[in-house]
Amino acid sequence: MQKKRLTRQEYIDMTEIQRAAQAIKDADALLIGASNGLSIAEGYHIFANNEMFRRQFGDIQQKYGIRSVIEGCFYPYPNEKDRQEFLHRLVQYWVTDYRLSQVMKDLLAVVGDKDYFILTSNADTHLELSGFAPGKVFEVEGTFEDMLHNRPMQDKSQEANAFLNRYHGKRLAILELGIGSRNRLIKLPLMQLAAREPQAVYITLNLAQELYIPNEIAHKSIGLAGDIAVTLQKLKEKLV
């Protein structure tokens, strides 16, 4: 059965959140890009010297002066034992002990039963731990477990390309979650893809100061400014 297309006026009368929900409903598939903003919405902040970091790594912080998880990951420890201790603790607290968050529950509901592929620079593997298929999640910079075990990143470029080829020319909703405005690793390719795919819709969720949509794709883009956790919940409510 062919989906009913909205008239131009019906589309104009919608709010941005309604437009985003409608674009997702109409999409043949979702391409999701996720970065630090998604993890921060869950309460995990790799750049912060916050209470969680001090509770989990306070003794290492006092010993070496590291001020965040990202610093701890790449600090030039004088011995392998201390490096392994930091990474082992990171995997324990951020991966092994992880429990499904409301943010991920809402994202799962937004995706629903549509086909999808996810590109992420997040190393915490929370997407897979929340129920997204491992074969459909590409951690483009590897994972914390990769670092702990000194193993190479799993390259899923072939899977990503197969997905893009499958939905070339079809209605693709590109859902961008918490990617910084100047990010060139994931955001730039997603914007370029939105520009060249005639039926693509580009939906970006971020804090207002990090929301960026270039003029070239403004006509096919939706910017949802604010707390990603709140925005995902609103999107879910429009979709269920």
Q: Is 155 contained in some domain?
A: yes
Q: Is 1 contained in some domain?
A: no
151 plus 92 within the same structural domain: no
37 plus 154 within the same structural domain: yes
Q: Are 169 and 198 in contact (CB under 8 A)?
A: yes
Q: Let me know if 234 is exposed, middle or buried by CB neighbors in 10 A (0-12, 13-18, 19+).
A: middle
HEC string for 5-48: CCCHHHHHCCCHHHHHHHHHHHCCEEEEEECHHHHHHHCCCCCC
12 plus 83 within the same structural domain: no
Q: Is 2 contained in some domain?
A: no
Phi first, then psi: what are they for 234, rounded to 5°?
-65, -40
Domain span holding position 59? 51-96
91 plus 121 within the same structural domain: no
132 plus 228 within the same structural domain: yes
Longest dimension (CA), the chain: 65
**Residue bearing tokens 């001020």:** 67
87 plus 188 within the same structural domain: no
pLDDT at 13: 53
Degrees, nearest 5: CA angle 146-52-176: 60
pLDDT at 1: 47
Q: State the Cα–Cα distance between residues 109 and 104, nearest whole angstrom.
A: 8
Give average pLDDT by consecutive 10-residue segment, the chain, 240 residues: 60 79 97 97 97 98 97 97 98 98 98 98 98 98 97 97 98 97 94 97 96 96 96 93
36 plus 153 within the same structural domain: yes
Nearest to 194 by CA among 27, 68, 55: 27
Q: What is the pTM of this model?
A: 0.93
156 plus 62 within the same structural domain: no
In one-letter notation, the amino acid at residue 85 is: E
H or E element that contains 116? strand 115-120
Other C-beta atoms within 10 Å of 104: how many?
21
In one-letter notation, the amino acid at residue 142 is: G
Q: State the Cα–Cα distance between residues 212 and 223, nearest whole angstrom.
A: 8
Q: State the Cα–Cα distance between residues 39 and 70, nearest whole angstrom.
A: 13
37 plus 60 within the same structural domain: no
Q: Is 3 contained in some domain?
A: no
pLDDT at 132: 98
161 plus 228 within the same structural domain: yes
Q: Are 176 and 120 in contact (CB under 8 A)?
A: no
224 forms bridges with which residues in the sheet?
205
Nearest to 15 by CA among 174, 171, 224, 228: 224
33 forms bridges with which residues in the sheet?
119, 176
211 plus 121 within the same structural domain: yes
